[in-house]
């Protein structure tokens, strides 16, 4: 049996369908989804989960209508404005993964400011995946290793799993123990492809905006019932 997971990763899915069911614009679903983030962060603080990683915006999400993309960026900006001081107070350290340079400059600045302000915190490592794609992350790591090898700075035979991991966006962050996906879809959707190799998966039919503290605690209980063998016996 397992104990409380050290690292929980979440694919926050179903914002659009939640809004559609209520006759609301999709952005209303994303706005309600921001409240679910607050509930999960609090639940992590209360239960001792040390790492929380959220798939907030994928590389593929840029293909959505400009109105939705701009609205999501504004939500991110507002979230960082409103939550920065609270994160500092609560011992939360903010990280990001993904191609941050692709975000609007105001979001990049707010992220940098919040990361600097929370840099000495250790209670909860809170990572936002933004303009993130697992395949791109792996390709970027491979390119950086290949460049070093071609320049004679790295022996190709010395490329171990640890060396490879040190080139990923998640360097220094342990692999997720538990992946939660809302809205019932059974997919990884290009999220943390390397890191999820041995992660336990919990899928709930609930849409992300309705995912509450009880649902989070139920996912932790489900995780505790799993026997993790990492390919062994």
The contact set with ligand FPP (CB under 6 A) reads 12-17, 30, 33-34, 37, 56, 61, 72, 75-76, 79, 128, 208
Which H helix or E strand runs over 87? helix 66-90
Which residue out of 13, 15, 169, 215 is catalytically annotated?
13
Q: What is the DSSP string of 101-117?
A: GGS-HHHHHHHHHHHHH
Query: Residue with the closest Cβ to ligand FPP?
Result: 16
Q: Is residue 85 annotated as part of the catalytic site, yes or no?
A: no
CB–CB of 217/48 below 8 Å? no
For ligand FPP, which is the closer residue by CB, 108 or 144?
108
For ligand FPP, which is the closer residue by CB, 55 or 223?
55
Centre a 10 Å sphere on the Cβ of residue 123 and count the other Cβ atoms it contains: 14
Q: Work out how close the CB of 47 gets to ligand FPP at its nearest, in angstroms, rounded to a whole number.
A: 21
Q: Work out how close the CB of 120 gets to ligand FPP at its nearest, in angstroms, rounded to a whole number.
A: 22
Q: Work out how close the CB of 52 gets to ligand FPP at its nearest, in angstroms, rounded to a whole number.
A: 12
Hunting for tokens 């941050």 — which residue is that? 100
* Cα–Cα distance measured from residue 137 to residue 146, given in angstroms and rounded to the nearest whole number: 14
For ligand FPP, which is the closer residue by CB, 64 or 226?
64
CB–CB of 8/44 below 8 Å? yes
Distances (CA, A) of 160 to 44, 73, 146: 32, 37, 13
Q: Work out how close the CB of 175 gets to ligand FPP at its nearest, in angstroms, rounded to a whole number.
A: 22
Strand order in the sheet with 178-181: 92-97, 124-132, 51-58, 7-11, 178-181, 200-203
Which residue out of 15, 61, 155, 157 is catalytically annotated?
61
Q: Is residue 121 annotated as part of the catalytic site, yes or no?
A: no
For ligand FPP, which is the closer residue by CB, 78 or 197?
78
Catalytic residues: 13, 61
């Amino acid at each position: 049996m397992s104990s409380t997971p050290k690292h929980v990763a979440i694919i926050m899915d179903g914002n659009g369908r939640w809004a559609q069911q209520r006759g609301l614009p999709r952005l209303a679903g994303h706005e309600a989804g921001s409240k679910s983030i607050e509930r999960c962060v609090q639940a992590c603080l209360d239960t001792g989960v040390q790492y929380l990683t959220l798939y907030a915006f994928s590389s593929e999400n840029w293909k959505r209508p400009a109105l939705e993309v701009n609205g999501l960026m504004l939500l991110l900006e507002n979230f960082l404005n409103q939550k920065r001081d609270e994160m500092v107070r609560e011992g939360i350290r903010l990280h990001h993964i993904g191609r941050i340079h692709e975000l609007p400059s105001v979001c990049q600045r707010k992220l940098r400011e919040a990361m600097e302000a929370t840099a000495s915190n250790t209670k909860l490592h809170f990572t936002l995946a933004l303009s993130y794609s697992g395949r791109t992350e792996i390709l970027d790591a491979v390119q950086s290793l290949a460049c070093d090898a071609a320049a004679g700075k790295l022996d190709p035979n010395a490329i171990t799993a640890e060396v490879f991991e040190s080139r990923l966006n998640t360097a220094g962050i342990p692999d997720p123990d538990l992946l939660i996906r809302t809205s019932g879809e059974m997919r990884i959707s290009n999220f943390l492809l390397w890191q999820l190799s041995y992660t336990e998966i919990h899928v709930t039919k609930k849409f992300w905006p309705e995912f509450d503290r009880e649902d989070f605690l139920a996912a932790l209980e489900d995780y505790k019932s799993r026997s993790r063998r990492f390919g062994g016996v």
